[in-house]
Amino acid sequence: MTEQTLHQAEPGRHPFLWPLLATLLIIGWSSGFVGIRFASEEASVALLLFWRTLLSGLILLPFAILIGPRLRLRGVLEQAAFGVMSVFLYLGGFALAIEQRVPTGLVALISDLLPLAIACLSQPVLAERLSLRQWIGTAIAVSGVLIVSLESLTFGEAPLWAYGVTVGSMLIFALASVIYRRQRAQSLPIHQSLCIQTLTGSVLFGLCALWQGSLAPPLTLNFGIGMAWLVLIATFAAYWVYYTSLRLFPVAQVSAAIYLSPPVTMLWAWALFSEPLTTTMFIGLAVTFVGVWMTSRA
C-alpha cells in the first residue's frame, strides 16, 4: 500500500475521527487566549512563556522517561530542534512583535494565516497536492479570517523588523509542521516529543525572562488560573491533538481547522470576558466554516 493510499484509507476507516480531532484542535488552539488573558495581567510575556513551557515539560518528564522507547541523543536533539522552531521561535516571535507595538490584531491575523503557508509548503516538501476544490476552500477560509479580523486590524508604528519577525515566526512553525509530518515514522511518542520541546523552550524563555528581571512567578490567583489553562488545554490538549492529527491526516487538512480559531477565540472572549460580538464576526465565522469544510472534506 502506498503512502498516498494510506492517507485516503485512514479517514475512511474512522469517519468520525477527523471531525472529533478537528473540534478538539479548534477548542485547544483558540483557548490560549484565555490563559494569556488571565496570566499576562500579572507577568511579562517572557516570564509567562517560561513558566508555561517549564511546567508542561516537568509534568511530562516522568512519563517521557518511564513510558515509551529509550531516549537517545539523536532523537532528543531532533525534538530539541523542533522545540526551538515550534515553541521558542513561534511563540516568542509573536510575543516580541507585540512588545515592539505591532498591533495585536495584525499579529493574530498573520498567525491565523499559518494554514495557508502550510498548504503552500506541503506540495514541494511532502508531495501532498491540494485539489482545486481545496484551494478554493482555502481562499474562502482566508476571506473569512480577514472578515473576522477586519474590525480589530490596524497598522501601528512598530519598527519594520518587528513585522518581519511576525511573518517569520508563522513561516517557521509552518516549516516545522511539514517536516514533522515527513518524519512521523521515526518520531518519538507524542508525550516524549512534547516534553523535550517544551523543556527546550523553557530554557530559552528562561534566559529571556532572566535578562528582563526575575524568574519568580507572581503568586496570584489569576496567574495560577492562567498557567493551569495554558498548560492543560493550550499546550497538552492543543499540541497533542495537533501532532496526533499530523500523523494520521494530510498536513494541509489538519492546518485548515486552525482557520476557525479566530472566531472561536472571540466566542471565548464573549463568554468569559463579556467582550462584544458583532454581525461581522458571525459573517466571518460562517464564511470560514464553509472554507474549512471544502478544504477538509475527504
Q: How confident is the model at residue 290 (pLDDT cuts 50, 70, 90)?
A: confident
Q: Identify the pLDDT of residue 156.
A: 61
Indicate the range of 94-98, 135-139, 152-156, 172-176 predicted with least confidence.
152-156
Q: Identify the pLDDT of residue 291.
A: 76
Q: Identify the pLDDT of residue 97.
A: 77
**What's the predicted TM-score (pTM) here?**
0.75
Q: Tens digit of pLDDT for each residue in 85-110? A: 888 888 888 777 777 777 666 666 67
Summarize the confidence of residues 108-137 as an average pLDDT: 71
Q: Say which residue, 73 or 41, is predicted with more confidence.
A: 73
Number of H helices, E strands in the chain: 16, 0
Q: Identify the pLDDT of residue 287.
A: 80
Query: Please, what's the b/e burial string for 137-151 (b: 16 or more CB within 10 A of its CB; e: otherwise)?
Result: bbebbbebbbbbbee
Helices 73-83, 160-182: crossing angle, 10 deg rounding = 140
Q: Tens digit of pLDDT for each residue in 210-261? A: 888 888 888 888 788 888 888 888 888 888 888 888 778 877 777 777 777 7
| pLDDT above 60 for 54 | yes
Q: How confident is the model at residue 9 (pLDDT cuts 50, 70, 90)?
A: very low
Nearest Cα neighbor of 110 from 262, 246, 214 is 262
Summarize the confidence of residues 196-200 as an average pLDDT: 93
Query: What CA–CA distance (Å, rounded) separates 58 from 54?
Result: 6
Q: Identify the pLDDT of residue 151.
A: 61
Indicate the range of 42-51, 77-86, 209-218, 274-283 predicted with least confidence.
274-283
